Chain A
Amino acid sequence: MSEYFGIKVEDIFNTMKDRFRPEGAAGITHTFGYEIKNAGKWKLTITDGTMQLDTADDVSDCDVVLNTDGETFVGLNIGKVDGMSALTSRKLKIQGDFNTFGLTSRMFTKYMTPGQETRQEQELLTLKKTISVNQRFATGPVFGKFLKGLKNKKILAVRCPECGRLQTPPREACAICRVRNTEWVEVGPTGEMRMMEYCYYASPDPLTGETRETPYGAIGILLDGCKDEEVFWHLLNPEQLDRVKMGSVINGKVTHGSRLRPVWNGKRTGSIEDIKYFEIDE
């Protein structure tokens, strides 16, 4: 059997029972499959604070399955290989929910080479802090007028007196022509889908501090009355992510996207939340 960093794949599995931390597995009930190339397959069964490990011929029925080679597997266990890098480069593959597999990290203490258990690694001190800051922003009269429009289910845009382009949300001046925008027009509220960011990555919502629910779609909508680059940025009904079509204008060739309409919130306060999201207009 091959050794990696002086350790066999079997060593990791054979010591799992001794390294098990029942408190780390409390409340967790899952089966974890391990497929290690040229080494074998193992099935770990966790039932609320207890564990059982078996070699197996087939682990495809497990809740999550980790698939990798011996070097990556041993490296991960002794901290020589970075998990995220292994996952990114596809040296490590996980079938099933990635976060479920992450639970195993708190169920076991770190693998130590026999005889070295007593040698204490130097401890690095780090301080962890979470900072929360309340903020208040003035809208100014132009953005304020726009937000007031939303309260009345109206989407307002400003027109540049020089180049004629529309901007919504409105801006005080056209930055390209360097002149003040003075003319207001109502646009939409229906329009055409242009581009969607189909977001799988759960980023924080800075307005609430909560992690966003995924997947969601941040979209550019060409509201009726607008043209070319004059899109409006909002969200799509998350139920309809796979039903919409993006539109485009590439070198003058126009492709039309799905027709959309806003879904207004019942209680409107003059904020981006006054529109819940856009949905297919059918």
Chain B
Amino acid sequence: MGYRKKNRNVGIVGIGETKFSSHREDVNQPEMIHEAVRQALDDAGLKIDDIDCLVHGNMELFEMIHQPDLWHVLGTGAYGKDSFRLTTGGTTGGTLVCAADNLVASGMYDVVMAIGFEKLQEGHTTGGITNMADPLWARKLQSGALTAQAAVKLIDEFGAERARKAAMTYRIIMDKHACLNPNSHRAFGLDWDQMDDLIQNSPPLIGDLRLIHMCSQSDGACVIIFASEEKAKKMSKPPVWVRDHITVHREETLDLHNNYYPNRTTHRFAAQELYQRNGIDNPLEYFDVFEMYDPSAWWGVDWLREFFLLQGDEHLKLVENREIMIDGKMPINPSGGVIAANPIGATAIVRTAEAAKQVRGDAGPHQIPTPVNHALASSFGGTMWTVLTMLEKDLDW
């Protein structure tokens, strides 16, 4: 894979995040986006005139608005500025981060604002996602973003009882994190004594994927401002450095229902490449937090093995021993993750935003109690897309 080191360093200097909810009928799309834009500008101590270029992203099939960036100009402040629009499915937010990072690193722009948003209540999410599939074959068969493949695989490999318990443990931990995050869309207050009831009685969606396991459909927006090292160092808050990012995707997955392991996952492939070129031998030791794009509790458990390059049941043990809790050895999604809030075009940029806040140390009630120097964020989308982003507190690599 052709890869070159960055032309110059890039820092995250401003972050804005709306409250996520099932209904934002009190505002229209540009107004909702403006809330996050205003927050990010204030956070960075910048004015809209200081922004050189904007990158705007969502999934247009969800709200069925073509060129939404035009409607949104009043909310984004893009009038008269260079701007780009991206739409790469669930990965959109991750791609926004990659693009903004590259635009600044290249030397073309000094300050770039990345905007991810979605108002899922204004369209039909499952209908939109189903239209992603190959129109001649897969559309007939695809059930939106819902799939129980990870559940089938985990149950086959580790037995139904252990697999179901691990998935529900993961789910309850994510809810406990969501309860700490004031921006969560869903924070139920689940507790350990509900385990068996939820495993048995939560309404099933597909196979062992139940309503409680699945992510929400949310409204919300998230904005990150990126600046060159020279500019970033002049700003009031210490910047969070974007060390590296990687995007991996594969062909149309007409053969995904194969129940075959180990198979070719983009997650493991991306993780291997990223760690190798950055000289990271033990990612579990290196990173202090991981904000994972986890669309369901089953995927969350299954993907831990891929992202951390684990073997056998090491990923299950991390969950079972609750090492992934906010005060554990490897905190996963102190924000509550995607199951707690999923405004799709914003979801993946929220992962980087939340990871950056953890590095800055100002995440709020869901701040990890121990120092955070190295953070990892992932994005997932399409049939099999992975984006991984590495953030650092210090410019010392």
7 contacts between A and B (CB under 8 A): A90-B212, A197-B147, A197-B149, A197-B207, A204-B126, A228-B258, A246-B152
Task: Name 15 extra pairs, CB < 8 A, besides A85-B186, A222-B258, A246-B259.
Answer: A85-B22, A88-B188, A89-B189, A90-B194, A90-B202, A91-B188, A167-B255, A194-B260, A199-B205, A200-B206, A203-B126, A229-B264, A231-B257, A233-B255, A246-B156
The answer to whether A229 and B260 touch across the interface, beta carbons within 8 angstroms, is yes
Q: Which listed residue, A87, A222, A231, touches B211 by the CB 8 Å rule? A: A87
Question: What residues of chain B lie closer than 8 Å to A97, measured between beta carbons?
Answer: none
Q: How far is the CB of B60 from chain A (nearest CB, A)?
A: 13
Q: How far is the CB of A185 from chain B (nearest CB, A)?
A: 16
Q: From A229, which residue of chain B is reached at the shortest CB distance? A: B258
The answer to whether B152 and A195 touch across the interface, beta carbons within 8 angstroms, is yes
- Interface assignment of A5: CB less than 8 Å from any CB of chain B: no
The answer to whether A197 and B130 touch across the interface, beta carbons within 8 angstroms, is no
The answer to whether B156 and A233 touch across the interface, beta carbons within 8 angstroms, is no
- Interface assignment of B136: CB less than 8 Å from any CB of chain A: yes
Chain A, residues 158-187, CB within 8 Å of chain B (1/0): the string is 000000000101010001100000000000
The answer to whether B251 and A171 touch across the interface, beta carbons within 8 angstroms, is yes
The answer to whether B261 and A251 touch across the interface, beta carbons within 8 angstroms, is yes
Within the assembled complex, what's the spacing in Å between the Cα atoms of A196 and B155? 13
Q: How far is the CB of B291 from chain A (nearest CB, A)?
A: 23
The answer to whether A171 and B202 touch across the interface, beta carbons within 8 angstroms, is no
- Interface assignment of B235: CB less than 8 Å from any CB of chain A: no
Q: How far is the CB of A134 from chain B (nearest CB, A)?
A: 13
Within the assembled complex, what's the spacing in Å between the Cα atoms of A271 and B136? 8
Stretch at the interface among A34-42, A104-112, A135-143: A135-143
A88-B254 contact given A197-B148, A247-B259, A248-B260, CB 8 Å threshold: no
Chain A, residues 73-93, CB within 8 Å of chain B (1/0): the string is 000000000101101111101
Question: What residues of chain B lie closer than 8 Å to A195, measured between beta carbons?
Answer: 149, 152, 257-259
A272-B143 contact given A204-B126, A228-B260, A255-B156, CB 8 Å threshold: no
Q: From A85, which residue of chain B is reached at the shortest CB distance? A: B186
- Interface assignment of B197: CB less than 8 Å from any CB of chain A: yes
Residues in chain A within 8 A of chain B (CB atoms)? 82, 84-85, 87-91, 93, 98, 124, 126, 131, 135, 137, 139, 143, 147, 167, 169, 171, 175-176, 194-201, 203-207, 218-220, 222, 228-231, 233-235, 246-251, 255, 271-273
Q: How far is the CB of B155 from chain A (nearest CB, A)?
A: 10
Within the assembled complex, what's the spacing in Å between the Cα atoms of A204 and B126? 8
Q: Which residues of B in the span 184-225 have a Cβ within 8 Å of any Cβ on A?
A: 186, 188-190, 194, 197-198, 201-207, 211-212
A251-B262 contact given A87-B203, A230-B255, A233-B141, CB 8 Å threshold: yes
Within the assembled complex, what's the spacing in Å between the Cα atoms of A78 and B137? 46
Q: Which listed residue, B137, B194, B206, touches A197 by the CB 8 Å rule? A: B206
Question: What residues of chain B lie closer than 8 Å to A219, measured between beta carbons?
Answer: 257
The answer to whether B140 and A207 touch across the interface, beta carbons within 8 angstroms, is yes
Q: Which listed residue, B135, B147, B259, B261, touches A135 by the CB 8 Å rule? A: B135
Question: What residues of chain B lie closer than 8 Å to A271, measured between beta carbons?
Answer: 136
Question: What residues of chain A lie closer than 8 Å to B203, measured between beta carbons?
Answer: 87, 98, 200
Q: From B212, which residue of chain A is reached at the shortest CB distance? A: A88
Q: How far is the CB of B340 from chain A (nearest CB, A)?
A: 11
The answer to whether B260 and A249 touch across the interface, beta carbons within 8 angstroms, is yes
- Interface assignment of B138: CB less than 8 Å from any CB of chain A: yes
Q: From A220, which residue of chain B is reached at the shortest CB distance? A: B257
Within the assembled complex, what's the spacing in Å between the Cα atoms of A87 and B216? 13
The answer to whether B257 and A233 touch across the interface, beta carbons within 8 angstroms, is yes
Question: What residues of chain A lie closer than 8 Å to B259, measured between beta carbons?
Answer: 194-195, 220, 246-250
Q: How far is the CB of B108 from chain A (nearest CB, A)?
A: 31
Q: How far is the CB of B56 from chain A (nearest CB, A)?
A: 23
A90-B157 contact given A143-B136, A220-B255, CB 8 Å threshold: no
Within the assembled complex, what's the spacing in Å between the Cα atoms of A248 and B258? 7
The answer to whether B139 and A250 touch across the interface, beta carbons within 8 angstroms, is no
Within the assembled complex, what's the spacing in Å between the Cα atoms of A131 and B194? 42
Q: Which residues of B in the span 321-340 have a Cβ within 8 Å of any Cβ on A?
A: none
Q: Which residues of B in the span 48-70 have a Cβ within 8 Å of any Cβ on A?
A: 64
Within the assembled complex, what's the spacing in Å between the Cα atoms of A83 and B255? 37
The answer to whether B130 and A201 touch across the interface, beta carbons within 8 angstroms, is no
A218-B205 contact given A194-B258, A195-B258, A233-B255, CB 8 Å threshold: no
Question: What residues of chain A lie closer than 8 Å to B138, measured between beta carbons?
Answer: 233
The answer to whether B197 and A206 touch across the interface, beta carbons within 8 angstroms, is no
The answer to whether B149 and A137 touch across the interface, beta carbons within 8 angstroms, is no
The answer to whether B149 and A231 touch across the interface, beta carbons within 8 angstroms, is no
The answer to whether A82 and B156 touch across the interface, beta carbons within 8 angstroms, is no
Within the assembled complex, what's the spacing in Å between the Cα atoms of A82 and B259? 37
Question: What residues of chain B lie closer than 8 Å to A272, measured between beta carbons?
Answer: 136-137, 140-141
Within the assembled complex, what's the spacing in Å between the Cα atoms of A216 and B156? 21
Question: What residues of chain A lie closer than 8 Å to B256, measured between beta carbons?
Answer: 220, 233
Within the assembled complex, what's the spacing in Å between the Cα atoms of A123 and B211? 32
The answer to whether B26 and A196 touch across the interface, beta carbons within 8 angstroms, is no
Within the assembled complex, what's the spacing in Å between the Cα atoms of A261 and B297? 34
A-B pairs, 10 with minimum CB distance: A220-B257, A89-B188, A175-B251, A248-B259, A195-B259, A198-B207, A229-B258, A195-B257, A201-B205, A231-B258
Within the assembled complex, what's the spacing in Å between the Cα atoms of A229 and B134? 19
Q: From A174, which residue of chain B is reached at the shortest CB distance? A: B251
